[in-house]
Structure 1
Amino acid sequence: MTNWTLRDLEYWDEKIREKVAEIGLDCYPQEFEVCDQNAMLGYMAYHGMPSHYPHWSFGKAFEQTKTMYDHGVSGLPYEMVINSNPALAYLMRDNSLCLQILTIAHVYGHNDFFKNNFTFKTTDAGETIASFKARADRVRGYIEDPSIGAEAVELFLDAAHALSFNRSRNLAIRKLKPAEQRARLLDAARPPADAFAGLHKRVEATHPDLTKEPLEPEADLLLFIRDHNRDLADWQRDLLTIVDEEARYFLPQIETKIMNEGWASHWHHRIMTSLDLPQDLHLEFLVRHNQVICPHPGGLNPYHVGFMVWRDIEKRFGGEGSKEALAKLMEVREVERDVSFLRRFLTEELCRELDLFTWKPRGEHLVVSEVSDEEHWSDVKNALLKQIGTGSMPVIRIHDANYRGRRGLYLVHEHDGRDLDMTHADKTLNHLKTLWGHEVYLLTYVRGKKTLMSVTDAGFDAKLVS
């Protein structure tokens, strides 16, 4: 049984919105939906969306999460909030009144971040819900089409899902269209304006690379395949568009997890301590807040790290309540993502206070490699920067779409000292072959040696090359 009514939630929501306005947070209109545990499990499986296209992986996620929850292995989130306009958040019906108030305050922090951080400005928040529903309707249409069917759609989506984040990671950087790339390359090769007539034809004749695809290494794998695999059916091209659009929606959340959760935690703490809560609610709030931002032994709690960094920024740029500190906080939340945020503001003192360290395998065990002391803290910080956001995902770019003259897809792994997992590489190249329809080759390094991996009709292979 809950100890609150909807009228209680409306009352505290109004109080919190007053505090949000006093602080100067800039939010979308906010809507809340109260749901039970089964509904929350469903929203979790569908990544928070009230409407999503069907796929077996979502059902698997639902059953897995439900089983773990039923057996007490894991709990459910206090809330989920969607980057939309108006913003939509779900509140768990079984939460106590204190937890509902804290959650509502936390949601407004996320809302402000969604509306103002630059990474989220590459999608239209006002179209979020409608776009997900429209994509769901299109996929269901293909499933129900007797000439296509559920099996063909699911197999194609399997491959597309596996490659969905092999794309440009910084969405704020505008990608040049092929015509613009060609013009830039031509300009780089251009002699004086009056040197000779027919410049473009002569340059293209003597620079065959200007006419191949891609003109420059291509990171957007799904979109390149969509645009250049002439054997795809229209429904397959549309599925690639759908998967890429949804990856584009979720990518900013991956790239700003620490900032976003830290920002919401920073402001829910400020709001809750200013609400003049009854003593019993205040005491419960202190316990709940500490549970949210406490460090995770052996792991990284993004709420904890983000909260500590935001609080340190506030302290260093004027202190709580100062106009200078607030202006700095608002500036940082608008122009950074996790990698740049931590590169700029994770100091030596914070690394020590957060007790950050690196580890490495030794036999069957993991042992501490470096700790955040005066000598090694920057190494620990750099190791962290490689792991956050999409940093743990390898960067692979298409360099040639007619490799060896038989439409082979040739890719290069941008090796950063971390070798690819061979099992994952095998599966990834097979997914690429499914979508491309022809042989796939990937150049990388394995244990310091240049290696060409491939998937052909004969299967997966890896060979050392000179």
Structure 2
Amino acid sequence: MSIESDPLAEPVREKETHSHEYAAEDRELENALTHIWNIAKDFRLDPFPTHFEIVPPKIINQLGAYGVPGRFSHWTHGRQYRRLKTMYDYGLSKIYELVINSDPSQAFLLENNPPIENKFVMAHVLGHTDFFNNNQLFADTRRDMPEAAARNAARIKNYEEKEGKMAVERFLDAALTIEEHIDPYQPMRLSAENELKMWHDMATRKQRVGLLDEFEDLLGPQEKKTAVEGLGRVAVHMPPTPDRDILGFIRNHAPYLEDWQRDVIDIVRSESVYFYPQRRTKIMNEGWASYWHKRIMREMGDRRLISDQDNEAWWLVHSGVLAPSKRSLNPYYLGMTMFEYLEDYHNGCLTQEEQAWLKKEDVPVPPRFDGALKDSPAIPALRDIMAHNDDQSFIRNYFNKIVAARMGLYIYEKRESHGEDTIYVVKDTGWQTIRDKLVDSMDNCGNPLIVVVDGDHNHTSELYLRHEFDGQSLDPEYVEKILPYIYALWQRPLHLETTDSQSSKKIMYAYDGTNISKSE
């Protein structure tokens, strides 16, 4: 997770700082962290122990590009690093911090930040590590991923030396193209041998039950035993039910993969499983961290633990990070606004107009609470919501007219250009339409859901995939790009079934390693 600055910020100028100044700043930050940690605990946050390290821009941009320290090298990471470095060098954006979901958590602060900005960031980080430690989606994630990623990188480096850097990179290209096509609810997949045995046992039981159900009244005990033993060879469909874990299925059942290739898929898949909860909770996680950095830093000011000048400085950074955009959705802003609404709701601190709307909707309005936030009924309510939701359920259950009005949200569309100007028109301001649009966009983390239907199509080891139609057709350009990569993994002809959203007709794509064909 990372927090980025206002894209319109002033260009960054690296400052010269002498060693004694670094030492003084370090002591100042250590003292501030003690206060920030204690305030967080007062507010009932439960973060992982968090190790902070101050690093130069080069390192924090590398961390932002790779996601985890020590991760394997790949050109896509280099491309992301170049983008982040260019944005930083030209003053268009900068990463203030990056925090790793591990136990203990690792957080990295930018050494060029003034001390007050790093204090602000430390408060933000504790919101993240509290979220990592308590949200249910993160309960089974690896807490040793930095060490695991370093071991993965060493294995891939070894394969590059043995198989050739180009061969490994091309295979990684293919695996990373479908890295999000996993089953997050099956992080540890059985081996190919055990999986095939399980499927065979399932098919045998099904055939046996079907036979006995049909003839049970006519057979005695010995005849039943003889009938079961005489079942003969049982046909096993591979897989027995549609499988959304395309990476795992290919790893186990692609007919021609070498051992090192299966291991590379294991690496890509395990790291994708690790990042999956972060993809599912971007709005909640950033909103929770922003909600708490605001309250912790406000408390620091109230306790006179920071100066008036520093109090003004962190508010300016906060305003930049939380700034709404006219044509995109700021996850920090949406998440924090929703948590602030829920705080006001559970503490009975809504406006008369907001209360009137809730009563009209038959939603009970709690009595007003005027005490300290740390003692309020809102805190346990918000913690329960944080622990048991992802972005999709969070918005489905708690986004309403009040949140939409507070944020001034609307749905817009781009109209035809007139001259050199592009016209954007507000299409809808209804909160239910906005909610549904947001929820729908989060299905499968915004990716098309594609499942393996048959790994032995036509009894020739061809792979048959199906797009689980959700009202939107697959983008033909997406199909043309992804099929060759899947072919590079499976190494046999592919078939991909989808549905046209306009005509509702089935569309079949096929790829034989050279050409893509399309039929209806």
Percent of aligned positions that are identical: 30
Is the contact between residue 494 and residue 510 of structure 2 (CA under 8 Å) also seen in structure 1?
yes
Write out per-residue CA displacement over residues 372-430 of structure 1, whole angstroms, 9 at most, x where no aligned residue: 33xxx212211111223743210000000111222110011011111211111111111
> CA distance change for structure 1 residues 451 and 61 in 2, over 3 Å: closer, same or farther?
same
Partner of 1:382: 436
> CA distance change for structure 1 residues 170 and 153 in 2, over 3 Å: closer, same or farther?
same
Partner of 1:154: 169
Q: Secondary structure at the match of 1:81?
A: strand
Equivalent residue runs for 1:78-157 within 5 Å = 78-125=96-143, 127-145=144-162, 148-157=163-172
Instruction: Say yes or no: does 1:244 pair with 2:269.
Output: yes
Partner of 2:385: 332
> CA distance change for structure 1 residues 307 and 177 in 2, over 3 Å: closer, same or farther?
farther
Aligned-partner Cα distance in 2 for 1:290–1:181: 56
Q: Secondary structure at the match of 1:401?
A: strand
Q: How many residues align?
A: 453
> CA distance change for structure 1 residues 368 and 187 in 2, over 3 Å: closer, same or farther?
farther
Partner of 2:6: none
> CA distance change for structure 1 residues 287 and 438 in 2, over 3 Å: closer, same or farther?
same
Write out per-residue CA displacement over residues 247-285 of structure 1, whole angstroms, 9 at most, x where no aligned residue: 111111110000000001111111111113211111112
Is the contact between residue 361 and residue 367 of structure 1 (CA under 8 Å) also seen in structure 2?
yes
Q: Secondary structure at the match of 1:167?
A: coil
Aligned-partner Cα distance in 1 for 2:189–2:165: 36
> CA distance change for structure 1 residues 117 and 180 in 2, over 3 Å: closer, same or farther?
farther
Instruction: Say yes or no: does 1:408 pair with 2:462.
Output: yes
Aligned-partner Cα distance in 1 for 2:316–2:468: 45
Aligned-partner Cα distance in 2 for 1:200–1:92: 69
> CA distance change for structure 1 residues 361 and 297 in 2, over 3 Å: closer, same or farther?
closer
What letter is aligned with 1:404? N
| 1:21 Cα offset (Å) | 1.7
Write out per-residue CA displacement over residues 75-131 of structure 1, whole angstroms, 9 at most, x where no aligned residue: 111110000111001100111121111100000000110111111122221x21110
Aligned-partner Cα distance in 2 for 1:184–1:331: 39
Aligned-partner Cα distance in 1 for 2:494–2:290: 45
Partner of 2:74: 55
What letter is aligned with 1:357? Y
Write out per-residue CA displacement over residues 322-370 of structure 1, whole angstroms, 9 at most, x where no aligned residue: 4432111111111111101111111122123222222344445564464
> CA distance change for structure 1 residues 202 and 236 in 2, over 3 Å: closer, same or farther?
same
> CA distance change for structure 1 residues 201 and 23 in 2, over 3 Å: closer, same or farther?
farther
Aligned-partner Cα distance in 2 for 1:201–1:257: 54
Aligned-partner Cα distance in 2 for 1:138–1:174: 20
276, 286, 290: which is aligned to 2:319? 290
Aligned-partner Cα distance in 2 for 1:55–1:200: 54
Q: Secondary structure at the match of 2:509?
A: strand
| 1:287 Cα offset (Å) | 1.6
Aligned-partner Cα distance in 2 for 1:417–1:316: 35
> CA distance change for structure 1 residues 160 and 200 in 2, over 3 Å: closer, same or farther?
farther
Partner of 1:273: 298
| 1:163 Cα offset (Å) | 0.3
What letter is aligned with 2:396? R
> CA distance change for structure 1 residues 181 and 25 in 2, over 3 Å: closer, same or farther?
farther
Aligned-partner Cα distance in 1 for 2:47–2:336: 20
What TM-score comes out, normalization by structure 2 length?
Answer: 0.81
> CA distance change for structure 1 residues 82 and 414 in 2, over 3 Å: closer, same or farther?
same
| 1:178 Cα offset (Å) | 6.1
Aligned-partner Cα distance in 2 for 1:204–1:414: 35
Write out per-residue CA displacement over residues 279-329 of structure 1, whole angstroms, 9 at most, x where no aligned residue: 111111222222222212210000000001111122222364444321111
Aligned-partner Cα distance in 1 for 2:330–2:188: 29
Q: Secondary structure at the match of 2:327?
A: coil
> CA distance change for structure 1 residues 99 and 389 in 2, over 3 Å: closer, same or farther?
farther
Over the residues paired in the alignment, what is the CA RMSD in angstroms?
2.6
Unaligned runs of 5+ residues in structure 1 are: none
Instruction: Say yes or no: does 1:309 pair with 2:338.
Output: yes
> CA distance change for structure 1 residues 289 and 202 in 2, over 3 Å: closer, same or farther?
farther
Instruction: Say yes or no: does 1:350 pair with 2:369.
Output: no
| 1:225 Cα offset (Å) | 0.6
Is the contact between residue 182 and residue 215 of structure 1 (CA under 8 Å) also seen in structure 2?
no
Partner of 1:70: 89
Partner of 1:30: 50
Partner of 2:28: 8
Aligned-partner Cα distance in 1 for 2:232–2:474: 37
Partner of 1:434: 488
Aligned-partner Cα distance in 2 for 1:129–1:46: 11
Aligned-partner Cα distance in 2 for 1:61–1:334: 31
Write out per-residue CA displacement over residues 219-258 of structure 1, whole angstroms, 9 at most, x where no aligned residue: 1111101100131111000000000011111111110000
What TM-score comes out, normalization by structure 1 length?
Answer: 0.90
> CA distance change for structure 1 residues 142 and 269 in 2, over 3 Å: closer, same or farther?
same
Write out per-residue CA displacement over residues 160-213 of structure 1, whole angstroms, 9 at most, x where no aligned residue: 0000001224569999966666666766773678926357677897x84xx111
Is the contact between residue 99 and residue 108 of structure 2 (CA under 8 Å) also seen in structure 1?
yes
Q: Secondary structure at the match of 1:274?
A: helix
Q: Secondary structure at the match of 2:139?
A: helix
Is the contact between residue 35 and residue 92 of structure 1 (CA under 8 Å) also seen in structure 2?
yes
Unaligned runs of 5+ residues in structure 2 are: 1-14, 349-372
Is the contact between residue 186 and residue 200 of structure 1 (CA under 8 Å) also seen in structure 2?
no
Larger radius of gyration: 2
Instruction: Say yes or no: does 1:231 pair with 2:249.
Output: no
Q: Secondary structure at the match of 2:377?
A: helix
Is the contact between residue 254 and residue 389 of structure 1 (CA under 8 Å) also seen in structure 2?
no
Q: Secondary structure at the match of 2:518?
A: strand
Aligned-partner Cα distance in 1 for 2:127–2:86: 31
Q: Secondary structure at the match of 2:123?
A: helix
398, 403, 421: which is aligned to 2:475? 421
Aligned-partner Cα distance in 2 for 1:267–1:84: 20
> CA distance change for structure 1 residues 359 and 390 in 2, over 3 Å: closer, same or farther?
farther
What letter is aligned with 2:387? E
Partner of 2:367: none
Q: Secondary structure at the match of 1:280?
A: helix
Aligned-partner Cα distance in 2 for 1:28–1:113: 9
> CA distance change for structure 1 residues 273 and 71 in 2, over 3 Å: closer, same or farther?
closer
Partner of 1:452: 508
